[in-house]
Structure 1
Amino acid sequence: MTERLSNGGPPLDDDHTPPWGRNGIGRYFEWAAAKKKAFDAPYDVAVLRARRAALIGLTYEEYTLEILERGRYLGTGDVERIAEIKRHRPIRY
């Protein structure tokens, strides 16, 4: 049995799909820049969001997405919405 060694480069198999998909780059970089801009907040705002997120058991990303998507600042009284966000987390192994 031969082992394949990897130099850390991209896979050479046909199964490899680049981050922007199989149909060309399109708007991939525009979306990436927009996402970065949405999550880049001034330091004080980012620290405040991170602290509030930690208090209610969410990540910074989850808390910020809730603000961006729904315009709501979650608190300890939003038990149902927080539980729903946690249910949609990817499974970690």
Structure 2
Amino acid sequence: MPPPSDPGAGHNGGPPLEEDPDAGWRLYCWKRARKKAWAAPPEIALRRLARAEELGMSYRAYTLEILERGKYL
């Protein structure tokens, strides 16, 4: 098997999606999971907004921190 060529900086080394027969299914699952992650009940959204304002952050930035790290700031 020949060694893989260097795809360049910033590439994660994964397979190209254009050649993947399951790419459509994965895209659907990703979009659905993303929508579910951002959907928060009003009480939680208001609590996050208040905490984000205390920290001097936007709601979006604060929620991204929660989603990425799994911890509240």
Scaled to the shorter chain, the TM-score interval is 0.5 to 0.7
Higher helix share: 2
Stretches of structure 1 lacking an aligned partner (at least 5 in a row): 1-21, 75-93
- Matched residues in 2 for 1:62 and 1:36: separation? 16
| CA distances 1:24-78 after superposition (whole Å, capped 9, x unpaired) | 852222211111101111110011101111221222222112112212211xxxx
% identity of equivalent residues = 49
The one-letter amino acid paired with 1:35 is R
Q: Which residue does the alignment assign to 1:66?
A: 65
Q: Distance in 1 between matches of 2:51 and 2:34?
A: 21
Q: How does 1:1-93 map to 2 (within 5 A)?
A: 23=18, 26=24, 27-74=26-73
Q: State how many pairs are aligned.
A: 53
**One-letter amino acid matched to 2:59:** Y
TM-score (norm 2): 0.58
TM-score by length of 1: 0.48
Equivalent residue, structure 2, for 1:84: none
Structure 2: 5+ residue stretches without partners: 1-16
